[in-house]
């Protein structure tokens, strides 16, 4: 990791953890989904002969936590642009690609840490991963999800100047991405239209891989999930680096 990338990565971490309301807010929504859906739909899921809904749901909730945190990392670009910090950063003798990579890695690191916290809290609800090795494989998918959507958020923010407009677009994108990823429902036996949309949803492969790693309940093969996520991370990072290099102050 180059010095510039490391500095931007460390800066992103410091800025996030100084904002206590943001940290608490990032955990409140996953816990609400976990409590309301896990406890509410659990008996219905079990009565349908599908087993323990909590075991199925928690990987999706972890992915949701990572998705929201990583995507909204891009708002830092707009914030810095509005208050002049971005200009100071861009005039430094450092490539814009290094700056973008540092911001992406910083946002992804924070998102993964929040995912780990949600995973630890889920143990209080009775969730149990398959094994220690499954948790390590799960961390791989958590990292890929975080990198994918952190770079995606920065790519979008690079083309925007209005913070409120960014939030509206993020909400417009995040909710369909999350709800159509199979985080809350099994992918087997879906209507053709919904099934087609889920295959086009990038988070589908992250959720499926994370669920397969932690519980063994995957719809696709883990190799397919891993390959698709890795390819998407590379593509979005390249696009994000290109768009960030064209940022105008």
pLDDT at 55: 83
pLDDT at 47: 58
CA distance 23 to 110: 10
Question: Do residues 144 and 233 make contact, with C-beta atoms less than 8 angstroms apart?
Answer: yes
What three-state secondary structure class fits 212? helix
Mean pLDDT by groups of 10 residues along the chain of 249 residues? 61 61 68 74 61 83 91 77 66 76 88 90 82 90 95 87 75 89 88 92 95 90 96 95 79
pLDDT at 169: 80
What three-state secondary structure class fits 50? coil
pLDDT at 8: 63
Task: Output Rg (C-alpha) for the chain, integer angstroms.
Answer: 18
CA distance 241 to 63: 24
Question: Do residues 227 and 208 make contact, with C-beta atoms less than 8 angstroms apart?
Answer: no
DSSP letter assigned to residue 186: -
pLDDT at 220: 92
pLDDT at 235: 96
Nearest CA to 140 out of 71, 212, 241 is that of 212
163-179 and 75-83 helices, crossing angle to 10°: 180
């Amino acid at each position: 990791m180059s010095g510039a990338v490391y500095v931007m990565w460390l800066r992103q971490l410091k800025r996030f953890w100084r904002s206590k309301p943001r940290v608490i807010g990032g955990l409140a929504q996953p816990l609400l989904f976990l409590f309301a859906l896990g406890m509410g739909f659990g008996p219905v899921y079990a009565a349908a002969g599908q087993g323990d809904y909590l075991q199925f749901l928690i990987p999706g909730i972890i992915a949701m936590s990572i998705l929201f945190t990583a995507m909204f990392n891009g708002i830092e670009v707009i914030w810095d642009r509005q208050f002049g910090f971005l200009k100071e950063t861009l005039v430094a003798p450092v490539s814009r690609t290094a700056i973008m990579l540092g911001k992406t890695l910083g946002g992804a690191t924070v998102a993964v840490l929040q995912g780990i916290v949600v995973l630890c809290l889920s143990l209080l609800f009775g969730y149990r991963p398959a094994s220690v090795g499954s948790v390590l494989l799960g961390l791989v998918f958590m990292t890929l999800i975080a990198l994918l959507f952190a770079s995606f958020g920065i790519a979008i923010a690079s083309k925007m100047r209005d913070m409120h407009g960014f939030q509206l677009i993020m909400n417009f994108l995040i909710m369909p991405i999350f709800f159509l990823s199979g985080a809350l429902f099994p992918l087997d036996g879906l209507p053709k239209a919904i099934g087609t949309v889920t295959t086009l949803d990038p988070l589908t492969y992250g959720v499926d891989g994370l669920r397969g790693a932690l519980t063994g309940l995957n719809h696709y093969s883990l190799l397919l999930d891993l390959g698709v996520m890795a390819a998407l991370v590379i593509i979005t990072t390249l696009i994000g680096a290109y768009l960030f290099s064209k940022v105008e102050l």
